Structure 1
Amino acid sequence: MKWKMTCLTMALFLFSMLFSQQELRAAPYYEGKMLKVIVGTQPGGGYDRTGRLMAKYLPKYIPGKPTAIVENMPGAGHIIAANHIYNVAKPDGMTIATYNRGLPFAQLTKAEGVRFDIKKYSWIGSVAVEPTAFFIRADLPYKTVDDLRRAKDPIPVASEGLGTTGHQFPLLLIEFAKLNLKIIVYPSGAASRLAIERKEADGRAGSYSSEKPFVDRGVFRPMIRGRVSEPEIDKLPVNEDLTNDPKGKIIMAMLASVDLIGRPFMAPPGTPAEVMKILRDAFAKATKDPELQAEAKKFQMAVEYVPAEECMKTLDYLFNQPEDIVKEFSKYITF
């Protein structure tokens, strides 16, 4: 009997040890840790709002509920932030970033300073599909595309710099649709919108969701859209239809393709698969959070999870273009 009791005691001891070890192994990876969200722009624009929104709600759906902070790292059309996450940040899931959806173009066109391979990032996905449109100040007399072509003087258009959609979209309208525009560079999306409100500039291009508050306030009027659309702008002229140049149509289609990427989030290359599953699952759940959706609606932002696999399809489309097409594309899309 004593021998049986000793065996039973030993078995219970081993079981408790095994259970404790399993509990230890099961401790949430993110528990007690800090998640840094890097935003490749200055504070105040659409990417910044998206980054801060996800930083607020994402920890709720990550086991262990880490603390999240936002770090703005602007410069070079988001290339500085992209280089940092690729070359400096540890691939441990504690640093993620959101970038300009046009960042693939920097690599495609071999832009100076690029030290990353866009397809080797650990893609989390995107939180939106972002149709691009061109807007004019609503108090101006321009009502049609022909009005924009026949303007007596070049219409000043605000952009955030070479590597942004706000610069690239109107540049192609000038080149292929023959609109009489003049691009003026400002340090951020917020600064360029302020320039329009101050009547220093007359128009800009950007994500419809980012500019919609200004449309609703009667400051902006949408005039032209890219091929990716949504119901409110579906009847606008499409930029590709405003030119008969086959080359121009292809270049505009390539530019529009990244609208399907929208507002992407990535982690450093080499981030472990089990950590990426945590992040992707959390992103998918966070985008459906009722409080997040209510806050996004307040800022007139559309938030919907786009899986990493869908983002990769867009990258495959871009990086499988013939060399001669990429060469032509590179003449217009610069950083």
Structure 2
Amino acid sequence: MTKLFSTTRRGALGLALGAAATLGLSMPAAAEVSFEGKTIEFIIPFSAGGGSDTWARFNAPLLGKYLPGNPTIVVVNEPGGGSTKGANLFAARAKPDGLTVLGTSGSTQFPYLLGDPRVRYEYADWEIVMAAPTGGVAYVSPSTGVSSFEEIGKLKGQKLIYASQGATSLDLVPLLGFKQLGLDVQHVFGFKGRGDGRLAFERGETNIDYQTSSAYIKNVQPLVEAGTAVPLFSWGALDEDGNPVRDPTFPDLPDFSEAYELMTGNAPEGPEFDAYFAFFTAGFPAQKMMFLPKGTSQEVVDAYQAAVTAMKGDPDYIAKKEAILGTYEQVTGKAADTLYKRGTVISPELRKQVVDMLAAEYNVKLGD
């Protein structure tokens, strides 16, 4: 039986390459790849309790069940630097032996897209295993006087406080989004994860927040049912033509575009919306991805991708997926590669626009 443990230590990152990768020996055929008796570290560059952590802990035991040799999966939380710390660690130290994988989020992609000097990793170097679209829901405290999304207009002129991981993290989407809505939001930077942000909301230290779908379903829906949180809108999803639509996991909530119309009476358009939309696309339709390090053999990549395909047919996966991940389908192979490329590229013009705005309006410089 696959075991799932949690640790904050990086024990396996220092393991030497196995004999199959020794100079002069060829890699085994796909049928010979085996992780029997091995421990695989699944690096999550965020604190426990957030959406990425929830995603990893759902997938890890199932992935281990279908990898050759049924290895043990260890989820390792390495928060810090808006997730750049853990990603940098992976890029610098992970060996191409299949024993270390990285889970990224929009918070890992955004510093890369913006040219943040803290970034010491290159997405193009890595091998994609799986991509997982996700969504997110923004919500407020009932202390704002808002009791449903129809009353979003009541937020105009109010002082709102948001716990942010940083302006170059995935929290750039709410920063740009709240600005588009004309909300007066103070972004308190420095929180290590969205789980920490939720706890600040629960303590009454903030009055507006958002969580990715998995964390919202697990941790915020009970607050909504208890009357201590009021959902406003989801960030939404994209249809086959790339147009914004309601998130299928939250069909009763307006998407961001609808919320914009509720607030302003107009459909969203213009360069500021284009900038928001570019980062939304990078942060949510292809938000969570799993990678193997540079130099990993195709046989090992194939073994991982086959395990993803197999685990999606597992009865336990099917039974629990929607409750944990929502209605989003995780993909591998060509579909994952397409999302990976779309989620790690942005035009220089939009990049400059956002970087200049952060410096001018929030006094945020890359690397802060």
TM-score range (shorter-chain normalised) is: 0.7 to 0.9
C-alpha spacing 1:191/1:204, structure 2 compared with 1 (3 Å): same
Aligned to 1:122: 127
Please state if 1:148 is matched with 2:155: yes
CA deviation string 1:124-159 (max 9, x = no partner): 012x321133211245412433222232xx111222
Deviation at 1:111, TM superposition (A): 0.3
Aligned to 1:6: none
TM-score (norm 2): 0.75
Aligned to 2:234: 225
C-alpha spacing 1:298/1:146, structure 2 compared with 1 (3 Å): closer
Cα distance in 2 for partners of 1:78, 1:307 equals 23
1:267 to 270, 292, 297: 292
Deviation at 1:288, TM superposition (A): 3.4
Contact 2:144–2:155 (8 Å) recurs in 1: no
Deviation at 1:172, TM superposition (A): 1.0
Aligned to 2:182: 178
Looking at CA atoms only, which structure, 1 or 2, has the larger radius of gyration?
A: 1
2:221 to 209, 215, 219: 215
Aligned length: 309
> Which blocks of at least 5 consecutive residues in structure 1 are unaligned?
1-22
RMSD: 2.8
2:172 to 168, 171, 187: 168
Cα distance in 2 for partners of 1:44, 1:311 equals 25
> Which blocks of at least 5 consecutive residues in structure 2 are unaligned?
1-27, 238-246, 262-266, 359-365
Aligned to 2:331: 306
Q: Structure 2: which amino acid aligns with 1:56?
A: P
Identical aligned residues as a percent: 21
TM-score (norm 1): 0.81
Please state if 1:42 is matched with 2:66: no
SS in 2 for 1:265: strand
Deviation at 1:225, TM superposition (A): 2.8
Cα distance in 1 for partners of 2:69, 2:199 equals 41
Contact 2:278–2:346 (8 Å) recurs in 1: no
Aligned to 1:14: none
Contact 2:30–2:302 (8 Å) recurs in 1: no
SS in 2 for 1:123: strand
CA deviation string 1:294-328 (max 9, x = no partner): 44555565563222533443454466644222211
C-alpha spacing 1:231/1:42, structure 2 compared with 1 (3 Å): closer
2:271 to 233, 237, 247: 247
C-alpha spacing 1:277/1:249, structure 2 compared with 1 (3 Å): same
SS in 1 for 2:116: coil
Q: Structure 1: which amino acid aligns with 2:68?
A: P
Contact 1:52–1:70 (8 Å) recurs in 2: yes
Cα distance in 2 for partners of 1:225, 1:274 equals 39
CA deviation string 1:203-250 (max 9, x = no partner): 212313321242344233221332412252464152484575511111
Cα distance in 1 for partners of 2:255, 2:319 equals 31
SS in 1 for 2:95: coil
